[in-house]
Amino acid sequence: MEDTAGSNPQSLGFTEKLKSWLSWSWTYVCFIWFGMVLIMIYVLWSPLKLQETLTSASVFLNTLTPKFYVALTGTSSLISGLILIFEWWYFRKYGTSFIEQVSVSHLRPLLGGVESSSTTGLFASVNGEAEPRPSVSECKVWRNPLNLFRGAEYNRYTWVTGKEPLTYYDMNLSAQDHQTFFTGDTPQLRPEDAVMQKAWRERNPQARIRAAYQAIEMNHECAAAYVLLAEEEATTITEAERLFKKALSIAGKDINLLVYIKRRLAMCARKLGRIKEAVKMMRDLMKEFPLLGMLNIHENLLEALLELQAYADVQAVLAKYDDISLPKSATICYTSALLKARAVSDKFSPEAASRRGLSTAEMNAVEAIHRAVEFNPHVPKYLLEMKSLILPPEHILKRGDSEAVAYAFFHLQHWKRAEGALNLLHCTWEGTFRIIPYPLEKGHLFYPYPGCTETADRELLPSFHEVSVYPKKELPFFILFTAGLCSFTAMLAMLTHQFPELMGVFAKAFFSTLFAPLGFFADKMESFMPSSFWHQLTRI
């Protein structure tokens, strides 16, 4: 291939020059072409007998019957309808308009443009080694590592707005989690444990609280009952912390119960402003129970470290958990993007980057943003406040809208604190969708985006929230144009069929108006130029 190309440099040079000339002429001198066409019409007015042709056309139009206009409009409507059906079928199958695809793939390169499948532009991702793509699994729901307290936070929202922030499906999942966590190590349930098992399943909050007090009456050292009271009865974080400390003092050796209580105590310290204490508690918990990585305690740690602006420590945590063999999350991907964006965002300018190109650090930041957006495409609209936030659910679906809500709810302040980070995100995040193939039979850096996220998110998120759906492609312009054309021609066909005489008069008037400027232009040009000039031109 290289020898063939090198043996014919002149032909390649001529082709490039031709493309460059066509691109330049198309872009800058369209009006010259229009003028040349008008001059050519006038020059050929006499040799081609255009005047007689126009006269004949007028006579022909005057002799047409209404049946012709009915047939013409009906045929036009049929053709445009067939084009619309084909365009819609092509869009449903390939996610793009056939006319636009042909224009971009064939006409644009001919006119000097850049092919869409070639190297991407200024804000395109730099393709590196892609992560291995595991097979698509079912949409698994995870416990939200940063879920709020029902009594101190969720219930307050209900008191103020009258809306329920949690769905029954979400709370039912939490009930199942609690039954699993707090069953106890004994082979047979104690009476108070049996009461708590029933308490978690109660749908009414007051019934759950009454059952917790009943369990405490049976056994004053029922730690699970104090956990329920801390979660649901306590109306302040301070009160919840007091009840959790009480539960911790009587928890015994139940590992699940100990981990749950210590984690919630760390979250209480974080909410009460004792952030360094919260960080220490989280680190100790991770060292004491290293095998409980499925609980994602490191995500609590990352958020607390970001609040301390301890970015070096955040990077150290990411280096451990942002591993190719470990499952990703929005917190991992977007925190990595935030750190890289923070390094360049304070001086980033789209205009300057367009002129000089992206530096290595800027390119790394853009690549990290593209990676994060590919993992969860719902997050940017919340971070950029293009969509309103709600309270996060107690369970999330990774890569879904529920995870995006949970991440943005706690991390929006960290993006705002990094000067220019949101501006860089705003300029670059949509470029991700030009990289990911459509249909989504394969991904770019991750496995294909699952198609079951919308259904699961609608069960996890409250009904008053508009669930973000991806991929949701807008209809291409040519489908809308063809639909409008089809509707217009169908309406004309119907009107022509119903009122043939009237529509015939309109059609004759339209064509007369259409051809009239040609004769007017010829008359004006002849009055300005001497007849000998036009005679010489016609002879040529």
pLDDT-based confidence at 226, cuts 50/70/90? very high
- In terms of DSSP H, where are the helices of 309-393? 311-321, 330-342, 350-356, 360-375, 379-383
Q: Reply yes or no on whether the pLDDT at 113 is more than 60.
A: no
AA letter at 313? D
Q: Mean pLDDT over residues 532-539, rounded?
A: 46
pLDDT of residue 520: 54
Q: Reply yes or no on whether the pLDDT at 48 is more than 60.
A: no
pLDDT of residue 189: 74
pLDDT (tens digit per residue) in 483-508: 777 777 777 777 777 777 777 777 66
pLDDT of residue 129: 38
pLDDT of residue 313: 96
Q: What CA–CA distance (Å, rounded) separates 531 from 42?
A: 13
pLDDT of residue 326: 74
Helix H or strand E encompassing 143? strand 141-143
Q: Reply yes or no on whether the pLDDT at 133 is more than 80.
A: no
Distances (CA, A) of 226 to 38, 172, 237, 394: 89, 20, 14, 19
Q: What CA–CA distance (Å, rounded) separates 65 from 28?
A: 45
- Convert 49-84 to b/e letters by CB count within 10 Å (16 or more is b): ebeeebeeeeeebeeeebeebbebbbebbeebbebb
Q: Mean pLDDT over residues 135-154, rounded?
A: 82
Q: What CA–CA distance (Å, rounded) separates 368 from 508?
A: 62
pLDDT (tens digit per residue) in 267-286: 999 999 999 999 999 999 99
Strands (E), 341-456: 395-397
Any idea which residue has 């917790």 for tokens? 212
pLDDT of residue 270: 96
Would you list the DSSP string of 66-115?
HHHHHHHHHHHHHHHHHHHHHHHHHHHHHSS-HHHHHIIIIIHHHTT---
Q: What CA–CA distance (Å, rounded) separates 453 from 375?
A: 13
Q: Reply yes or no on whether the pLDDT at 377 is more than 80.
A: yes
Q: Mean pLDDT over residues 335-340, rounded?
A: 95
Mean pLDDT (the chain) is 78
Whether pTM exceeds 0.75 = no
47-56, 163-172, 395-404, 485-494: range with lowest mean pLDDT: 47-56
Number of Cβ atoms within 10 Å of the Cβ of 136: 14
Mention every residue, 6+ apart, whose C-beta is less than 8 A from residue 340: 361, 364, 365, 368
